[in-house]
Amino acid sequence: KQTYRMGTIVLYPAPAMGHLISMVELGKLILKHHPSCSIIVLNLTNSHKSGSIVSYISHVTETIPAIKFHHLPKIPLDLESYSSSEAIIFDLIGRSINNVADVLRCIEPTALIIDLFCTSAMSAAANLNIPVYYFITSGACCLVKILYFPTLDRDYPGSFKDMNRLVYSPGMPPIPSADMPGPVLQRNSTDYSDFLQLANLLPKSSGIIVNTFDSLEPKPIRAITDGLCVKDQATPPLYCVGPLLADSYNETHECLNWLDLQPKQSVVYLSFGSECMFSIDQLHEIAKGLEMSGQRFLWVIRSPPTVKRGELFVPPDVVDLNQLLPDGFIERTNDRGFVVKKWAPQVAVLSHESVGGFVTHCGWNSVLEATRAGVPMLAWPLYAEQKLNKIVMVKEMKVALPIDAKDGKVAAEEVEKRVRQLMESEEGNIVREFVKARKDDAARAMSEGGSSRVALAKLVESWQTTRHL
Ligand code: UDP
């Protein structure tokens, strides 16, 4: 086996758990198979919800000393002045450009691997002649939409949210315009122009790494590699190296003890990512639906957002179940339900044999985690590119059944109907069989000679041609 002499690879993730974890997993994978590389992760110290990030970083530092974190200087933020969580992240990254340039000048890495949010670092790297690779923490289906976006911008004048028509892109099923990724819904917005700028810059990178695997999304992957998405210039090499996911490590949590006592594949797990905060009204509908379904459930609950502006994007610390759930719900479902406040050890939960279904917000990490564990899903998208993911999960990957909202709300009857369908109907069984096949595909992709391992080797090989080797 050939070992390359490798320089330093700098990883620049966005300061959000899902983005950070998969980027660190990429670093771990590079180190495992190409130990002559060294990995440095740039960390934006003052993420507005740094608590879990700080403890995750200390866990990685203790367990994988070969991965070094470089903490960028703090940027003062006025949290009350932002309109969205993304706006905070963009501003933080934009104002850190000079700090990133200083680090790159000092380290002179072989390559810089950036998150989509970190596009502003591209010019700093270009000035220093350092090749930039993107790391997409979502799927190839989302990447199609980004790469093809300049064409969509030209062909679909107006705002997607008001257009009420289908949007066609290479390798993708048609998407209702209102289901396009959140940032592009409103044409005259900064988010829209940022997205367009990103779409124009991506093809100028040295390569695009995606957290997916060939057999999970064959059509969008082929559309990209056949050059159908990028117009008037070459498409950079594509490296599908996934699924890159955190392992569950020595997890202890009372919900896992409870799962131990439940029959095999009998429990439906409900969790909506790291950001979701439902209204009390919506929480009540879910509770009623679960109660009517008669199914066993494990449900992660957070409090609705506070009205205090500076805390709008941070889930409140206190979760008072009596205030959030219908009267007597906990008592009535005590023999078959378990409610977790704020955060569950999701990877461990999904790989527990008692779990037979997953109601998910379609965040890409959650989708991959469930796929790797062979757990069929109910797709309930909430924000970002999740509505797009839902369509692909249901129509192409066939790993999920849909759950439908009316006027932004999912009614108790829909929750009941879909949970039953997933857990006890023939349609549910079909999805279960599909997702089990995908589980085997995922393991194959990551094993010796598998598509993701081959892609990783090609990526590392591409660094050989750079000036530092
Ligand atoms: N997660 C978890 N426990 C929870 C909620 C989320 O461990 O109660 C983890 C989940 O396993 C996943 C990540 O948080 O790795 C969420 O990432 P995803 O891409 O699914 O959604 P996002 O939070 O980025 O919208």
Distance CA 365, CA 212 (A): 10
pLDDT in tens, 410-449: 999 999 999 999 999 999 999 999 999 999 999 999 999 9
Testing ligand 1's pocket by substitution, the residue of 303, 339, 365, 390 carrying the most ligand atoms inside 8 A of its CB is 365
ipTM for the predicted complex = 0.99
Ligand 1 pocket test, candidate residues 47, 254, 274, 380, most atoms within 8 A of CB: 274
pTM, to two decimals? 0.94
Residue whose CA lies nearest to ligand 1 atom number 8: 343
* Averaged pLDDT for residues 5-9: 76
Residue 49 phi/psi, 5-degree rounding, is -130, 60
User: Which residue has 């957290």 as its token pair?
Assistant: 211
- 263 burial level (CB within 10 Å; 0-12, 13-18, 19+): exposed
Residue 464 has a pLDDT of: 78
User: Beta-carbon neighbour count of residue 10 at 10 Å?
Assistant: 27
Q: Which residues of 336-399 form beta strands (DSSP E)?
A: 337-341, 355-360, 377-379
Instruction: For residues 366 and 375, give the distance between their C-alpha atoms in angstroms, rounded to a whole number.
Output: 11
The Cα 278–Cα 380 span in angstroms is 12
Which atom of ligand 1 approaches the CA of 340 most closely?
8
pLDDT at 270: 98
In the prediction, which pLDDT does 314 show? 63
Measure the CA–CA gap between 359 and 41, rounded to whole angstroms.
33
User: Which pLDDT score, from 0 to 100, does residue 235 have?
Assistant: 98
Sheet of 132-136, strands arranged across:
67-72, 38-44, 8-12, 111-115, 132-136, 207-210, 238-240
Q: Is the dihedral of CA 389, 394, 400, 402 positive or negative?
A: positive
Q: What is the mean pLDDT of the chain?
A: 92
Q: How far apart are CA 34 and CA 29, in angstroms?
A: 8
For residues 381 and 391, give the distance between their C-alpha atoms in angstroms, rounded to a whole number: 10
Residues within a 6 A CB radius of ligand 1 = 17-18, 21, 271, 273-275, 300, 343-344, 346-347, 363-366, 369
Q: Please write the tens of the pLDDT for every residue from 365-420.
A: 999 999 999 999 999 999 889 999 999 999 999 999 999 999 999 999 999 999 99
DSSP state of 170: T
The pLDDT score that the predictor gives to residue 246 is: 87
CB 314, CB 49: distance < 8 Å: yes
Of residues 398 and 249, the one with the higher pLDDT is 398
Residue appearing with tokens 């889930």: 315
Could you tell me the distance, in angstroms and rounded to a whole number, from the CA of residue 157 to the centre of ligand 1? 35
Which residue(s) pair with 257 in the sheet?
A: none
Instruction: Indicate which atom in ligand 1 lies nearest the CA of residue 366.
Output: 20
166-167 and 175-176 beta bridge pairing: antiparallel
Tell me the three state secondary structure of residue 56: helix
Closest CA relative to residue 389, chosen from 179, 213, 156, 196: 179
Which ligand 1 atom sits closest to the C-alpha of 21? 15
Contact 419, 295 (CB under 8 A): yes
pLDDT in tens, 282-335: 999 999 999 999 999 999 998 887 666 555 566 667 788 989 999 999 999 999
> Do the beta carbons of residue 21 and residue 56 sit within 8 Å?
yes
How many A from CA of 340 to the centre of ligand 1? 14
Q: What is the pLDDT of residue 164?
A: 96
Q: What pLDDT does residue 50 have?
A: 54
pLDDT of residue 6: 61
Instruction: Give the Å distances, CA to CA, from 340 to 199, 365, 414.
Output: 39, 20, 22
Q: Whose CA is nearest to atom 22 of ligand 1?
A: 273
Residue 274 is predicted with a pLDDT of 82
DSSP three-state, residue 368: helix
Q: Report d(CA 463, CA 316) in Å as an integer.
A: 44
CB 221 within 8 A of CB 140: yes
Q: How far apart are CA 381 and CA 403, in angstroms?
A: 9
Asked whether the bond before 243 is cis by omega within 30 degrees of 0, the reply is yes
Residue bearing tokens 């595909």: 441
* 380: three-class secondary structure by DSSP: coil
In terms of Cβ atoms closer than 10 Å to its own Cβ (0-12, 13-18, 19+), residue 106 is exposed
Q: What are phi and psi of 205, to 5 degrees?
A: -80, 170
The more confident residue out of 50 and 44 is: 44
Q: Give the span between the Cα atoms of 138 and 273, in whole angstroms.
A: 14
As a whole-number percent, the residues of the chain with pLDDT over 70 amount to 94
Helix 140-147 and helix 386-395, axial crossing angle in degrees, nearest 10: 120
Question: Is the confidence at residue 466, as pLDDT, over 60?
Answer: no
Band (pLDDT 50/70/90 cuts) for residue 85 is confident
Residue-wise pLDDT tens digits, 112-125: 999 999 999 999 99
Check pLDDT > 90 for residue 171: yes
